[in-house]
Copies of this chain bind each other. A is one copy, B any other.
Amino acid sequence: MLDDLTVYLSGEIHSDWRARIREGVAAAGLDVTLLAPVTDHATSDTAGVAILGPEADDFWRDHKGAKLNAIRTRTQIERADVVVVRFGDKYRQWNAAFDAGYAAALGTPVITLHDAALGHALKEVDAAALAVAETPEQVVRLLAYVVKGEL
């Protein structure tokens, strides 16, 4: 039996979708390890300069932080059996689409999670996904099905 799964939850950090998946997975008693980027926006933005020293220029400030976060992100994507990528209706979330492309090139199954209204804008990303979900609860059911093979 396949009975465990490692899943990376990429994308939107301004809604509670990760918590809802986490709760759903726990409630269903699944042996699913959920990985995630740093979801506290201030921490994520500050980490580079906080640890490695200040930058006068905003571009390099962001650059330092983004690279540091990439150590965490890449390690997690490499470990994941499945990558779930969430797109919300605010912000551009290019990093989410970047992660989807990265996972697709590695041959790792991708699940996208977004409102139907974003479908046209996300058609290329959805075309590379093995499932397109609209709610975190659907993702939980998907993961349960993948792990247990039952509806």
A residues sitting closer than 8 Å to B (CB atoms) are 1-2, 5, 33-40, 43, 46-47, 50-53, 55-60, 62-76, 78-79, 81-82, 87, 91-107, 109, 111, 116, 119-128, 130-134, 138, 141-142, 145-146, 149-151
Let me know if A59 and B97 touch, CB within 8 A. Answer: no
Q: In the complex this chain forms, how many copies of it are found?
A: 8
Most buried by B among A53, A67, A121, A127: A127
Q: Which 5 A-B pairs have the closest CB atoms?
A: A101-B101, A105-B105, A97-B97, A66-B127, A95-B124
- How far does the Cβ of A38 sit from chain B's closest Cβ, in whole Å? 4
Residues of B within 8 A of A97 (CB): 94-98, 101
Let me know if A124 and B98 touch, CB within 8 A. Answer: yes
Let me know if A72 and B102 touch, CB within 8 A. Answer: no
Cα distance A66–B104 in the bound complex, in angstroms: 15
Cα distance A106–B104 in the bound complex, in angstroms: 10
